[in-house]
Amino acid sequence: MTPTTSSARTTRCPYCGRVLKARTVDLFGKPMFAGFETCDCPGAVAERDAEARAEAEAERRKKDAARLKAIRRAGILPRYEHASHPLALECAREMAGGKNLWIYGDTGTLKTELACASVIALVDAGRKPTFTAMWKILDSIKASFSGSVDPLPRYQTCPLLFLDDLGKEAPTDFCLERLFALVDERSARMLPTAITTQYKPSELISRLAKHGERETAVAIVSRLRQDCKTVQLTGPDRRITR
């Protein structure tokens, strides 16, 4: 409400004309002006209610923007910013409690959807998860060869790591060596790692050992399976049938 001032001590409600007295507060022994009385007429009440709603809406938008910023900072891309899945809260609790996650299933069974929804649940709980794919880590490591900072330590030490579509990257010696360095360090630090993959553990070993490095492949899968919750997703390819 913007009152019309008639004197230094009073004003009138612009809706009903009621005289409103000035309010004062004592500051170091001196009375200081602290606005005018509020009016309880319908017009004044409606204006205050509208102002309160506007403030609440501005605060909601601010919180939503901060939440979305945190989700994007975690590595979630636009398609999955609003991901949801009935198993997300359970998976998030397991990760927050220190367990690894092995989420597997055929193409289109919502593995990435579940992982992203779990990341969002962790963000909402005040945690700082990181979502990425192994091929992205490998590409960034290769890019660092030109003189930039090696990104691997960031992923070795982040509190909660989600690796999407593990097994899709080419199983080269370089890939296995860097993947082992990642999961071995995280295992030693007791930092939870979640993966999504099309492969069961034995199948992922075979995939990673395609060029003969079976011992390293076994070591990688062994560390990922330690203290691990396994989630199998089934059904048709939802990207096609939905």
**Which residue segments constitute the domains of the chain, with CATH numbers given?**
4-69 (no CATH), 75-241 (3.40.50.300)
pLDDT tens column, 153-202: 999 999 999 999 999 999 999 999 999 999 999 999 999 999 999 999 99
pLDDT tens column, 40-91: 999 999 999 999 999 999 999 999 999 999 999 999 999 999 999 999 999 9
This prediction has a pTM of: 0.85
Helices (H) and strands (E) counted in the chain, each on its own, are 9, 9
Write down the pLDDT at residue 6.
41
Do 15 and 41 form a contact (C-beta atoms < 8 A)? yes
What whole-number distance in Å separates Cα of residue 91 and Cα of residue 103? 10
Q: Provide the pLDDT confidence category of residue 242 given band limits of 50, 70 and 90.
A: low
Cα first-last separation, the chain: 52
What whole-number distance in Å separates Cα of residue 48 and Cα of residue 44? 6
Exposed, middle or buried, 149 (CB in 10 Å: 0-12/13-18/19+)?
A: exposed
